[in-house]
Amino acid sequence: MRVVRCIRPIFLLLLAIANLPSFGQTSFGSIVGTVTDPSGAAIGGATVELTNIGTSERRTATTESSGNFNFVNLIPGEYRVDIQQPGFKRYSREPIRLEVGSAVRVDAPLQVGDVAEVTTVTGEAPLLQTESGTIGKVIEGRTVQDTPLNGRNVLNLIALAPGVVPQGSTSGSPLGNQAGGTFTNNTGWGNYQIGGGMANQSAFYLDGAPLNTVNANSPGIVPVQDAIQ
């Protein structure tokens, strides 16, 4: 679950925007980068193969004359990048961790040598997300499953993100008293202040599809805890 000045999860996408339209949001990510030679000059025409380590799905691209490559609409997960170009050693890097709504840059300096030789990068510092100015937080699957939740209400995980202040009726079970009282109701589920914004001004998404009710900024359903990654 990812909080984007608001919230975005991997399968539960929660976007809180104060007085801004919520179009154009996505639960996918992207990996971009530039391939260069030892002198720093761009290498065009290099073959870049991207592999999802968890599913073995593969995609292939060719670098532009500027040496740039990009893969978009990627499912969040861990990836491996392999790059080949005649006259240079093959470049391989993993794991590249991609979170929901993120854009990760992987720049690859190739070394002169035979393509049968491999330069493997596995121990570098974690990659920074440099392609997006979005402010957010990802709450990972293990945390979603292991955190005690009152009534298994996954929306309570929003409170784990910095800058989020729960308001009244946000806690409790979605199966509680829907008419109000001391239990939660569908209006209360979305009643959070996020990033200093007004309360109850959030938009909720599940796999990119909006969950908000037509006449209010409140989620029409609360997904079960076991369905959220």
pLDDT, tens digit (0-9, with 9 covering 90-100), for 97-144: 888 878 899 999 999 988 778 787 775 555 555 555 666 777 777 777
Same domain, 187 and 212: yes
- The answer to the question of residue 15 being in a domain is yes
Q: Tell me which residue range forms the domain holding 97.
A: 29-121
- The answer to the question of residue 130 being in a domain is no
The tens digit of pLDDT for each residue in 152-200 reads: 788 888 888 888 888 877 766 665 544 455 555 666 777 888 888 888 7
> Cα–Cα distances in Å, from 35 out to 19, 85, 88, 107, 120?
41, 10, 11, 6, 15
Same domain, 115 and 165: no
Beta strands per DSSP E along 19-153:
29-36, 47-52, 58-62, 68-74, 77-84, 90-98, 103-105, 108-109, 118-121, 136-138
Same domain, 216 and 152: yes
Same domain, 162 and 203: yes
The tens digit of pLDDT for each residue in 62-87 reads: 999 999 999 999 988 899 999 999 99
Please give the model's pTM, rounded to 2 decimal places: 0.60
- In terms of Cα–Cα distance, which of 22, 24, 25, 48 is closest to 35? 48
